Structure 1
């Protein structure tokens, strides 16, 4: 039913695997490599059709200098921070509480409420574009960072609750029962007993949500416009004018925008992997 691990395959299969793996990895990274190379090329290389060739001149400091000092890119980056960080905190905090309630307490409608959280993950977000936009307009939240944060928290809480509820159900219930026998209040059980045990899950979920929100482009252009509230994913398109597209600057801006989630993953890699694999084996 399951494929044989490569360590147990024949020597020829192992050599073929080791030979093909770098090739497949390079093909997979080829678009990112192309963007990185084009970010240090001059604008003339694009108009001359020099997409994959050697740069006619290296404009690393010139291109990235324009991105940071001659555009609104720092402002867009700051907007992304102000949007992403509160969203991560809000979604993780709400899902921790809802996951605790659905995973620990037994009450009528528990499973139905849990299914409602799950059902929200299966709704295509494109069909929500018009009603969500109208809702933000009616609440005076359109083109504001607050409106984008509130929407992301609401939309991400369903997945986060699914993640947290399943994680909490794997915790030893005897710890909660022992705390109740000692007369500990429920909120203290949550804060002092359950939350410390959820640190790997909290770290893994924070990395996932950070990446989702930071890389969001669809809702960034639907619910915001202009440098006052747009995140960096939407702000990259500001390098385009009516009759001309500065692809070399867009490439440099894309590389800059991709660095924070990559750094976030490597900083939290240990906790991220621990959170995803905890409970996988008994």
Structure 2
């Protein structure tokens, strides 16, 4: 008896819309990659060479000298420390308060919880620029002890800059964590409630560990957004030695001449911490973005 031979599977049909989608995504990725690659390329070439040959020319000399010069001239170690003092507490405090609020909205039966979630979501639509003048005025009127602020007010203090980041990022984190917590089966919480678990234990030991992918994704985004902020530091701080690292690039600009290759090297050094954080958390970040996509 001759064994049956399976017919070859027909080739999969490629849809034109899928080709257009991939072409569009490729163009978007290229649009983000080209400026970064050009900045990295320029930072390795002397300014005199690019001024003579142009930035889109083959290099005659490649050197790392600009990185050492940018590191010392821009005083990057000091500004890195300033940024960590502002950003690390800001990210932790935002995630902690947002997870508190999201747990109350998603896992408890408090009255008006849907309205509360709508208010937090609507707050994200408010442009922060419209609050610059009133926020500046309020900051100068709130007193602080001398060990928290040299100006004896919330203005020109690390605490003030941390709080403004927490306030503006809080609503987005509540919205994301609330929807994530709603995907956790209610039976888990009900079983813990039957076993006598209180609200704090249900939050800290049961719900929060299950939200680790979402917290990692939000932590990566929040660190990037707070780290790259320049507006609030410019408005709410006046002491140059307290400014975050994004403002350190101003130290690489001369009064009459700017070496853009040196500025490119400083920009690459400033961007490195966000790349390191993403590399350390990218598995959790992707898991947090894709979790629930097949449900």
Q: 1:14 to 1:201 in 2, by over 3 A?
A: closer
Counterparts of 2:266 and 2:47, CA distance in 1: 14
Residue 205 of structure 1 corresponds to: 218
Residues 216 and 277 of structure 1: CA distance in aligned 2, closer, same or farther (over 3 Å): same
Residue 3 of structure 1 corresponds to none
**In 1: Cα distance, 2:216 partner to 2:277 partner:** 11
Residue in structure 2 matched with residue 215 of structure 1 by the alignment: 228
Task: Tell me if structure 2 keeps the 8 A contact 1:88–1:210.
Answer: yes
Describe how 1:245-260 pairs up with structure 2 within 5 A.
245-260=258-273
Instruction: Give the structure 2 partner of residue 84 of structure 1.
Output: 87
- Please say if 1:37 is aligned against 2:41: yes
Alpha-carbon RMSD = 2.6
Moved >6 Å (runs of 4+)? 11-24
- Residue range with higher mean Cα deviation, 51-60 or 244-253: 51-60
Deviations 1:97-126 (A, max 9, x none): 000001112232211211111111000111
Larger Rg computed on CA atoms: 2
Matched, 1:243 2:256: yes
Q: Deviations over 1:58-96 (max 9, x none)?
A: 341x21111223331111112112211111100000000
Deviations 1:24-45 (A, max 9, x none): 7445411111111111222334
Conserved 8 A contact 2:73-2:251: no
Give structure 1 stretches of 5+ with no counterpart: 1-6
In the aligned structure 2, how far is the partner of 1:68 from the partner of 1:137? 33
Which of 101, 111, 114 pairs up with 1:111? 114
1:18 deviates by: 8.6
Q: Which shows bigger deviation, 77-86 or 118-127?
A: 77-86
What is the CA-CA distance between 1:152 and the residue it aligns to? 0.3
Q: TM-score, normalised by structure 2?
A: 0.84
Compared with structure 1, are the counterparts of its residues 115 and 53 closer, same or farther at alpha carbon in structure 2 (3 Å cutoff)? same
User: In the alignment, what sits opposite 2:8?
Assistant: none
The secondary structure found in structure 2 opposite 1:268 is: helix
Work out the CA distance in 2 between the residues paired with 1:209 and 1:80: 13
Normalised by the size of structure 1, how large is the TM-score? Answer: 0.88
Change (3 A) 1:8 1:17: farther
2:145 corresponds to: none
- 2:294 corresponds to: 281
User: Closer, same or farther in 2 for the Cα pair 1:218/1:9, shift >3 Å?
Assistant: farther
Q: What is the number of residues matched between the two proteins?
A: 275
Change (3 A) 1:107 1:19: closer
* Partner deviation per Cα, 1:191-230 (whole Å, 9 max, x = no partner): 1111111111111111111111111122222222454221
Q: 1:177 to 1:71 in 2, by over 3 A?
A: same
Alignment match of 1:188 (pick from 201, 219, 228): 201
Residues 112-142 of structure 1 show CA distances to partners (whole Å, capped at 9, x for unaligned) of: 2111111110001111111222222222122
Which one of the candidate residues 245, 265, 271 is aligned to 2:284?
A: 271
